[in-house]
Amino acid sequence: MRKLLLGTAALSLLTSAAWSDTFQATNWMAPAHILNEFPYQQFSKDVAKATDGALQFEVYSSGALVPAPTTMQAISDGVAQLGIVYPPYTPSELPLSNTVNDLAFVAKDDLAAAFAWTELGLTNPKLRAEWSKNGGVFVGGYSTPFYNFICMNEIVSPKDVAGKKVRVAGTAQTEWIQSLKGVPVSVPIADVYSGLERGSIDCTMSDATNLDKGNKFWEVAKTVNTLPMGVVVGATYVFNKDFWIGRTPEQRRILLDEVAVGLARSQVAYHVGVEAALKGSAERGLKVSEPTQEMKDALSAFQASVAKALPAKAVATRGIEDPTDVLNEFVTLEEKWRKLVADVDRTNPDAVAAILKTNLYDKIDPSTFGAD
């Protein structure tokens, strides 16, 4: 019965999309979340204005249309024409994307990582084929800020992690906590607040914006350690293939341009948000501490081991071809983007968007991209 109902709903939405210029965009995060407010709420307004109302997106937030784990399937089925996809929610469907996400644990610059991941997804044939196989067209991605320890008790050295239950988000984070003799726990981020409050988890690995934006961890957590434990990357904009192919080149050009602006705004909001969250946390009485040199050295050694072992491990556990070429390309692209954004004002979304458009999106041909 549930399958029948879902099929009916999908057919209804597909029919609606076929006869209307209003399309469905799904985002499992709250409207005020950085990855919703700028790349979805504002994006939908900007696209409508740029197309004189010819393209309009109705944004379903907080998983109102479909939950996070089924977003990729919903995009493929046409239940949504646009959605935000976090690859670890669909590891079997997006094994290569998840392997790149594992490598993001060794990223050196979150802004550069976001744009390196985006360029890789737009231009690498293997990644493009993976998204296409799943019924989607990847058009842009995000990187979180660096992950920190947000805890009930202070963590500054490796021994402080031993025995602690730490919420993680991904394979590399899981193995990092295990290397410190901690207990990795996988729970949705929406459950972290109550987990810290009840004591079912001792810490979460999260970017600092979760302290005050949406999740409000600073209401229950007592300490923050600023050890930069890599980032995670995801697909901010994945379009349904039929929807994308059905747009005119002129409409695709507008979408590409607005995607670039949306990505820049999101990354700037992350940058500004981290500074505000850490400052606000200290003002609220949370202890914001630096890691010991021992902890820094432990992280550096672990990151080196991740990069070295990842290709063979991905072949063995994810069942994919040797991804060394793709991973090397990500590293090369991150270095490229580190240089490109080295001097940009990271509080200025227009400046960041200009660099992203000039060096990437302006080079995408809207008449051919995603139309294969």
What does 10-40 look like in DSSP terms, one character per residue?
HHHHHHHHHH-SEEEEE-SS-TTSHHHIIII
Q: What is the pLDDT of residue 14?
A: 41
pTM score of the predicted model: 0.90
Question: Which residues on neighbouring strands pair with residue 24, listed in sequence order?
Answer: 58
Rg (CA), the chain: 20
Residue with tokens 């602006």: 261
Q: What is the pLDDT of residue 9?
A: 41
Q: What is the pLDDT of residue 345?
A: 98
- Side chain identity at residue 194, one-letter code: S
Q: What is the mean pLDDT of each run of 10 residues along the chain (372 residues)?
A: 39 40 93 94 98 96 94 97 95 96 95 98 98 98 97 97 94 94 90 96 96 90 97 97 97 98 98 96 97 97 95 96 98 98 98 98 97 80
Report how far apart, in Å, the C-alpha atoms of 135 and of each of 28, 112, 216, 243, 365 are: 19, 27, 35, 10, 20
Question: CA nearest 211: which of 278, 149, 272, 266?
Answer: 278
